[in-house]
Amino acid sequence: MGERKVAVVTGSNKGIGFGIVRALCQKFHGDVFLTSRDERRGRDAVHELEKEGLSPKFHQLDVTDKKSIYIIKNFLEKTYGGLDILVNNAGIMIPFHTKEEGNKVIETNYVSVVNISEALFPLLRPNARVVNVSSRLGNFTAFNMKDETKMKFANQNLTVKELTSLVWEYYNLFDCPNFNPKLYIGQFAYGVSKLGLNRLTSILQRNVSADQRQILINSCCPGYVDTDMSDHKGSLTVDQGADTPVYLALLPADEKSIAGKMVCERVVVKWDERNLQPNPQIKSMVPSMKSLS
């Protein structure tokens, strides 16, 4: 059992997760695990970063598969004896048309983070950082809710189990009043899953704040990023999209206030605040890898 520090990034064979692994390899003093549900895609991605002179490690992880979660848990426990950074980045947004297909969005973006937290949180070492890569569409979904529903989500005493019930209940209603009815159900599911993730973040922070580990858990929106998910329409590169998740993953030991928060491109926002304005500073904070090459 070693004391070497270790970071794990889910869904990091491409897109923002890949950018997060790249930046952590450059900035974090410890081993960085690029994980992927598909071993070949993951190993190819590791190889890409090795060509840049970086040394990420690889582990398979399908976030929707509990067995896969427990395999990486056992591996981390045996090899490192703990975990220092966990970035829950894996996510899907596919224009599903049926409710059943939309369920997959909630399962991947929300339920898997509940399962991963249950499995991996006991491993978190003092000063560990957890980042849930969410979306400002979660805030937008909350902003559009009826007041009585919002009050249920706002309850400070909610347990994770109660929140999960609320997420499914709300998703099954599909009655968000100001939501564009022409939206695909999958897009609605995406907003609900990210709203759930934002609330989950605050509950998980409350739960760990009771112990002495000084763990900080935050969710964030990376901005509109040029990836497969955005059909490459996003204006930020994956390195710029990685900026906020990495900033939160490396919050210093004396940071106290950014805890259980939702952070849109380095700016703390309320979970039900309508915040669709990108932070123009992000582009200047992180030079694009493309513009460097």
Rounded least distance, CB 1 to ligand NDP, Å: 27
Question: What would the two tokens of residue 199 be?
Answer: 């609330």
Cα-Cα-Cα-Cα torsion 255, 259, 265, 269, nearest 10 degrees, comes to -130
d(CA 140, CA 92): 18
d(CA 71, CA 104): 22
190 is catalytic: yes
SS3 content of the chain, % helix, strand, coil (to 5): 50, 15, 35
Among candidates 225, 227, 223, which has minimal Cα distance to 244? Answer: 223
Which residues bind to ligand NDP, rule: CB under 6 A? 10-11, 13-17, 36-38, 41, 61-64, 89-93, 108, 133, 135, 221-222, 224-225, 227-230, 234
Q: Which is nearer to ligand NDP, 59 or 206 (CB)?
A: 59
Rounded least distance, CB 104 to ligand NDP, Å: 9
Rounded least distance, CB 103 to ligand NDP, Å: 13
Q: Which is nearer to ligand NDP, 184 or 224 (CB)?
A: 224
Q: Which is nearer to ligand NDP, 72 or 90 (CB)?
A: 90
Question: What would the two tokens of residue 67 be?
Answer: 């067995």
Cβ-based neighbours of 216, under 8 Å, separated by 6 or more: 128, 129, 130, 205, 248, 251, 255, 258, 259
Beta strand 6-9 with 83-88: parallel, antiparallel or unpaired?
Answer: parallel
Q: Which is nearer to ligand NDP, 141 or 227 (CB)?
A: 227
Among candidates 37, 26, 9, which has minimal Cα distance to 289? Answer: 26
Rounded least distance, CB 244 to ligand NDP, Å: 10
Hey, which bits of 222-281 come out as E strands? 262-264, 267-269
Rounded least distance, CB 157 to ligand NDP, Å: 27
Looking up tokens 């493309």, which residue turns up? 290
Q: Which is nearer to ligand NDP, 45 or 123 (CB)?
A: 45
* Residues forming the active site: 190
